[in-house]
Chain A
Amino acid sequence: AQKVTQTQTSISVMEKTTVTMDCVYETQDSSYFLFWYKQTASGEIVFLIRQDSYKKENATVGHYSLNFQKPKSSIGLIITATQIEDSAVYFCAMREGRANSAGNKLTFGIGTRVLVRP
């Protein structure tokens, strides 16, 4: 069974600095997809970024980037030049790449709360 683990409960950083969040996963599949989502204080959950397991390059979107270390089953999220509005809970998630999988059944981590201080 797949499992996603986020060990950092909360992180506090100063505005305009870089924050890094850890995530490790377990899967039996050779092909899978990894994601980060953000949940704001209002409850809104927003997709941020995705890494396909077969891609060696780390995904980057805006000021979000990933540190994909496949041998360690690790997919860290890096946010550079943080802003106050980056304060949120960040969830790591995984989708196995089974050919007969009918939809986006994601396994989520428990989340890391990030507080960006002015």
Chain B
Amino acid sequence: GPKVLQIPSHQIIDMGQMVTLNCDPVSNHLYFYWYKQILGQQMEFLVNFYNGKVMEKSKLFKDQFSVERPDGSYFTLKIQPTALEDSAVYFCASSLTGHTGQLYFGEGSKLTVL
């Protein structure tokens, strides 16, 4: 089936550094998402993105977070600067429509902030 690819699968960085997580969504999809999962907890919505704009974001989407998808390339999540509490697995997802709930997820990018 359709695949969402995430790069890198793992990243270890020092607190205060910048990190960019990359997502290659399903090719004809129009909606893009980031979810955050801390070990042992549920996945939580961070942000959704459509037509070049953030449509909705949660309170977890701090000012240090930003997303973009320049010219149909990777959909990226940038955190600058990182904090210890940003350690988590970040899942990218995409969907063709905005209302069916049928998301296609990547396998996650595990971020460890030291």
Residues of A bordering B, CB below 8 Å: 4, 33, 35, 37, 42-47, 50, 91, 93, 95, 101-111
Please indicate which of the listed interface residues A93, A95, A106 has the most CB atoms of chain B within 10 Å of its own CB.
Answer: A106
The residue on B at minimum CB distance from A45 is B105
**A89, chain B: closest CB distance, angstroms:** 11
Within 8 Å by CB of B50, from A44, A91, A102, A110, lies A102
The complex places the Cα of A32 from the Cα of B44 at a distance, in Å, of 18
The complex places the Cα of A44 from the Cα of B48 at a distance, in Å, of 20
Q: Mark B87-114, 1 if CB is under 8 A from A, else 0.
A: 0010101010011111111011000000
The complex places the Cα of A46 from the Cα of B101 at a distance, in Å, of 12
- Quick one: which of B2-50 are within 8 Å of A by CB? 31, 33, 35, 40-45, 48, 50
Known contacts A45-B105, A103-B99, A106-B35, then 5 further A-B pairs from the complex at CB < 8 Å, ordered by chain A residue? A47-B104, A101-B56, A105-B58, A107-B45, A108-B43
Residues on the B chain within 8 Å of A107, using CB = 45
Residues on the A chain within 8 Å of B84, using CB = none
Within 8 Å by CB of B56, from A50, A93, A105, lies A105
The complex places the Cα of A4 from the Cα of B45 at a distance, in Å, of 13
Residues on the A chain within 8 Å of B93, using CB = 45, 104
